[in-house]
Amino acid sequence: MNLDLAYRSLVLKVAHSPQVEALIRRRARGLVRRYVAGESLEEALRAAERLEGEGVHAILDLLGEMVADEAQARAFQEGILELVRALGEKPWPRYVSLKLTQLGLDLSEGLALSLLRGILAEAEPRGVFVRIDMEDSPRVEATLRVYKALRAEGFEGVGIVLQSYLYRTEKDLLDLLPLRPNLRLVKGAYREPKEVAFQDKRLIDAQLLHLTKLALHEGLYVAVATHDPRMIGEVKRHAEALGIPKDRFEFQLLYGVRPEEQRRLAREGYTVRAYVPYGTHWYPYLSRRIAERPENLFLVLRSLLGG
């Protein structure tokens, strides 16, 4: 395992400690606000409006995952429906992201399918696009089944995510081609064993670029989720060389990460979206952000020392 993967594995392991979570919740609120728009829908909508003023569109995500009972799943569905209804009244592009474990996937695949079907039934008439996030490897197969089932039912305003660090991903992409999916490609942020995922950052980066080029060659609409300037530059050069217009792909970055790059890409005429998370269930999301870059750990330590 290289140093990047070793760092990520260690941080995610430590982050599971209840004592560490309690400490960060108590003393690192300033850091949280760097990556999370707030705990309320109103705060998230204000953040989205600010981004729109900078030419950057927002992906709104009510944070939550791996619910323990059906009542929680239904409560999250209602929270997402509240978001969908609020976005339906906005003049700017409307885009929601969610996780199936938030809707009870671990309890029942049928429950998650049913609750997401209810969300899409309200989202599509309002012009709200819904992206199903991909979670860790044991949940990939079920997530793809739910996505395919919804597409078979005629829902068009729904997209899926694939992770370049999983060995299976190229096959999954090829299997999805008949559906012409709106696809987001990411590196992957979960702690995965070497049996299912690449452990070398260089290979993961190479796979992300390979999959992006494959999807573009196949004529899919592709959202490339990366902050890596080299990767962004390579995608731009590849698209230009092949004559792929800027309206056939987009760049997606995280709220609070490289905002100047987001604005610059928007000024260049690319579609840029910032992933804007909000809600009270922010700790797992923040843990993954800390695990992505050692610089984020220094920010945590500074926040803890400074209170």
In a shared domain, residues 198 and 270: yes
Q: How many residues does the chain have?
A: 307
The domain tally of the chain equals 2
Please tell me whether 99 is known to bind a ligand.
Answer: yes
In a shared domain, residues 247 and 291: no
pLDDT at 30: 66
Question: Which of these, 105, 103, 82, 84, lies nearest to 95 by C-alpha position?
Answer: 84
* Cα R_g (the chain), whole angstroms: 19
pLDDT at 84: 98
In a shared domain, residues 290 and 265: no
Please tell me whether 37 is known to bind a ligand.
Answer: no
pLDDT at 146 over 60: yes
Average pLDDT value for residue range 48-55 = 97
175-194 tens-digit pLDDT = 999 999 999 999 998 889 99
In a shared domain, residues 64 and 184: yes
In the chain, what percentage of residues exceed pLDDT 70?
Answer: 84
How far, in Å, are 204, 210, 212, 276 from residue 195 at the CA level?
Answer: 14, 21, 23, 32
Which of the four pLDDT bands, split at 50, 70 and 90, describes residue 1?
Answer: low
Average pLDDT value for residue range 2-16 = 62
The half-sphere exposure of 262 on its side-chain side, counting CA atoms within 13 A, is 23
Give the residues across from 128 on adjacent strands: 94
Please tell me whether 188 is known to bind a ligand.
Answer: yes
In a shared domain, residues 11 and 131: no
| Spatial distance between the Cα atoms of 297 and 293, rounded to a whole number of angstroms | 7
Please tell me whether 148 is known to bind a ligand.
Answer: no
For residues 109 and 74, the answer to whether their CB atoms sit within 8 Å is no
Would you give the DSSP letter of residue 197?
A: B
Q: Which two tokens stand for residue 247?
A: 């309206």
Average pLDDT value for residue range 201-218 = 96
In a shared domain, residues 78 and 138: yes
Please tell me whether 289 is known to bind a ligand.
Answer: yes
In a shared domain, residues 219 and 267: yes
First to last CA, the chain: 34
More confident residue, 15 or 111: 111
For residues 197 and 137, the answer to whether their CB atoms sit within 8 Å is yes
In a shared domain, residues 161 and 131: yes
| Spatial distance between the Cα atoms of 109 and 146, rounded to a whole number of angstroms | 8
263-274 tens-digit pLDDT = 999 999 999 999
pLDDT at 284: 75
pLDDT at 28: 60
Q: Is 29 one of the annotated active-site residues of the chain?
A: no
In a shared domain, residues 107 and 236: yes
Active-site residue, selected from the candidate residues 184, 191, 205, 273: 184
| DSSP assignment of 5-51 | HHHHHHHHHHHT-HHHHHHHHHH-HHHHHHH---SSHHHHHHHHHHH
Averaged confidence pLDDT in the chain: 90
CB under 8 Å to 228, separation ≥6 — which residues? Answer: 205
| Spatial distance between the Cα atoms of 9 and 159, rounded to a whole number of angstroms | 29
pLDDT at 280: 86
**Out of 1-5, 145-149, 187-191, 271-275, least confident range:** 1-5
CA trace torsion 141, 76, 35, 252 (10° rounding)? 50
More confident residue, 295 or 261: 261
For residues 249 and 239, the answer to whether their CB atoms sit within 8 Å is yes
pLDDT at 303 over 70: no
For residues 59 and 255, the answer to whether their CB atoms sit within 8 Å is no
Which of the four pLDDT bands, split at 50, 70 and 90, describes residue 257?
Answer: confident
Average pLDDT value for residue range 71-97 = 97
Expressed as residue numbers, the domain containing 245 is 40-279
pLDDT at 33 over 80: no
Residue 204 host element (H or E): helix 201-217
Which CATH number characterizes residue 229's domain?
Answer: 3.20.20.220
In a shared domain, residues 136 and 249: yes
In a shared domain, residues 91 and 125: yes
In a shared domain, residues 205 and 306: no
Active-site residue, selected from the candidate residues 133, 136, 139, 191: 133
Q: Is 248 one of the annotated active-site residues of the chain?
A: no
